Structure 1
Amino acid sequence: MTRGLLRLGLALAVALGGLAAVAQPAAAAPAFQLPFPCDQVWEGQTRTNHSPQNSVDFNRANDEGDPVLASAAGRVSRVANEGSTSYGRWIEIDHGGGWTSRYAHLSSQDVSVGTQVARGRQIGKVGNTGGSTGAHLHYEQRLNGADVRITFNGSQILYFGSRSYTSRNCGGGGNPYTPEQVCGSGYGVVDEQALGTVGRTYLLYNNSNGNNCVVTLKSVSVGTASAVSAFLEVQGEARGTDSGNFTHYAGPVRKAAPGKCVKWGGSVGSTAYTSGFEHCGS
């Protein structure tokens, strides 16, 4: 009896394979946040003739070149350039469970395919590339390849029309800073290391001058002074360190390292990371 029922169940599963697939519960959506730095206010516009219809365009005054952040943690799955058509320069992030997000019309792309990004990590800058008539960010959320209605901080945005939104993309533990903001213009993240759940240390590089930069961001006791450090050592030279009781981050520690290997790392409280000599020239 049991074997017969099992065979019957398997036959039904095969016969109704498509229906069974449809009946599977969708993966829970990531905790998406606005793709902009903490507390920034942006105007979001949705419209019935948008392609795809569930996407949103974001604008604010003089926004060209403004940072674009990952709206949720994930792996960069696409970095593309459509030239003067369609998305222009764009990025896709895979968040797992079938969920992805897209960021289009960028002026710069600061990550590469395969990069693991935390929510709040800068991935590019607002631009006017592709089929765009003015600087803005075109943003989408997708589930299993299909565009879906967008949510931020657990709430669906307005469809259809315009509304102002305040970013709560404040980094892990509410840290409002990104490593690019701390190190300054021209720097992009080339490596990063989580410090358990208490923070993250980053190595950045500036292609224009060959300088490296290290910063450690806290994700606990943010806004309260506590022990944080960041260090950078160019092979053959003395180590530079910034350590103390800081409210948000340690660093930036910058050193010129064109064509040279570096050792880098940092700590939050008793949790620390030290790399070997690596990234020789980048």
Structure 2
Amino acid sequence: MRMSFRSVALAAAGVVAAAGLVVAGATEAVAAPNFQVPFACNTVVTAATFSGHSPANAVDFQRSDITGMPVLASAGGTVSRVANEGDVSYGRWIEINHGGGYTTRYAHLSAQQVSVGQSVSLGQQIGKAGATGGVTGPHLHYEQRLNGTVLKAVLDGRAVPYYGHTSFTSHNKCGGNPYSPTEVCGSDYSVIDSHALTGGTVYLLYAAGTGRNCVATIKSTSVGTASAVSAHLQVEGSTQVTDSGSFAYYAGPVSRAAGSTCVKWGGSVGSSAYTSPYEHCG
């Protein structure tokens, strides 16, 4: 079934990624968009989460020179709110409806550059960061919501840690692959490690509910054109499992139950390859 899906993906990845549809039997559900950091490609920001934040799962993006920085849509959608609360709460803020019940909010803006009903694409500038509303300093307040409930944020397939201050590098509108590692492995997986290759990145993911690891290699060059790519996973004491071939977007998913057993993982894009030592043992 995986190979059949990927054959379809090679022909119509753009349509599937844009729609975000996951089909199981006769039922159709909408998967979460592959939300990106809401700043320009390669911008490094600190994602701050803390107990007592309102709402609890909101993220404050911080950076010393953040005032006036362009704020980008973290996924495509339709602008559903453009409001100004004055010197309290969100201050100037924007909400984008991404379909399927998913929305994102961007608050404390110094400028709003879109209007309600406007369609926006991933990476489109919607405003500028600032310090409006009830704040003590400039930052971007950011939320991911599902049917009005604020979710723990996931950015480019990487779960934001709660609670702490974590550095994130934006891959928003850098061009390239429409697939994220969680889209390849499944929404119950979270990225726990990664290694950059020339032409892509290999990811190790873990599903806490099942104790399974998954490896996926996501291409960043020759995207949409079939070329050599692989992903492999070995649970200590077992044989290595590999997915390799000429693929347009990714290799994997390669998944095995590991529990508290160490795993060796890796992958390749062309001649660039990586294999980890045995690690992630508990």
TM-score by length of 1: 0.55
Which residue, 110, 121, 125 being the options, matches 1:148? 110
Report what 1:71 is aligned to: 38
Q: Tell me, in whole angstroms, the C-alpha distance in 2 between the residues paired with 1:261 and 1:228.
A: 24
CA drift of 1:90 comes to 1.7
Query: Larger radius of gyration, structure 1 or 2?
Result: 1
C-alpha deviations, 1:171-215, integer Å up to 9, x for none?
75410000000001200000111113x101100000000000000
Question: Which sections of structure 1, spanning at least 5 residues, go unmatched?
Answer: 1-36, 42-61, 104-118, 121-130, 141-145, 151-156
Q: Tell me, in whole angstroms, the C-alpha distance in 2 between the residues paired with 1:277 and 1:166.
A: 41
CA drift of 1:235 comes to 0.9
2:37–2:172 contact (8 Å) kept in structure 1: no
Report what 2:154 is aligned to: none
C-alpha deviations, 1:219-246, integer Å up to 9, x for none?
1110100000011111111011101100
Q: Does 1:221 align with 2:191?
A: no
Alpha carbons of structure 1 residues 215 and 172: separation in structure 2 relative to 1, 3 Å = farther
Report what 1:89 is aligned to: 57
Alpha carbons of structure 1 residues 82 and 272: separation in structure 2 relative to 1, 3 Å = same
Amino acid at match of 1:167: L
Report what 1:163 is aligned to: 118
1:234–1:257 contact (8 Å) kept in structure 2: yes
Q: Report SS of the residue matched to 1:253.
A: strand
Q: Tell me, in whole angstroms, the C-alpha distance in 2 between the residues paired with 1:101 and 1:262.
A: 41
Q: Tell me, in whole angstroms, the C-alpha distance in 1 between the residues paired with 2:281 and 2:227.
A: 32
Q: Tell me, in whole angstroms, the C-alpha distance in 1 between the residues paired with 2:253 and 2:64.
A: 32
Amino acid at match of 2:105: H
1:82–1:89 contact (8 Å) kept in structure 2: no
1:39–1:167 contact (8 Å) kept in structure 2: no
Amino acid at match of 1:221: S
Report what 1:277 is aligned to: 278
Amino acid at match of 1:258: G
Alpha carbons of structure 1 residues 237 and 247: separation in structure 2 relative to 1, 3 Å = same
Q: Tell me, in whole angstroms, the C-alpha distance in 1 between the residues paired with 2:255 and 2:19.
A: 28
RMSD in angstroms over aligned alpha carbons? 3.6
CA drift of 1:163 comes to 1.2
Q: Tell me, in whole angstroms, the C-alpha distance in 2 between the residues paired with 1:96 and 1:279.
A: 34
More divergent stretch after superposition (239-248 vs 72-81):
72-81
CA drift of 1:78 comes to 1.2
Report what 1:200 is aligned to: 201
Alpha carbons of structure 1 residues 136 and 204: separation in structure 2 relative to 1, 3 Å = same
1:216–1:228 contact (8 Å) kept in structure 2: yes
TM-score by length of 2: 0.55
Alpha carbons of structure 1 residues 93 and 253: separation in structure 2 relative to 1, 3 Å = farther
2:188–2:207 contact (8 Å) kept in structure 1: yes
Q: Tell me, in whole angstroms, the C-alpha distance in 2 between the residues paired with 1:233 and 1:204.
A: 13
Amino acid at match of 1:183: C
Amino acid at match of 2:116: G
CA drift of 1:38 comes to 5.7
CA drift of 1:139 comes to 2.2
2:38–2:172 contact (8 Å) kept in structure 1: no
2:38–2:71 contact (8 Å) kept in structure 1: no
* Aligned residue-pair number: 184
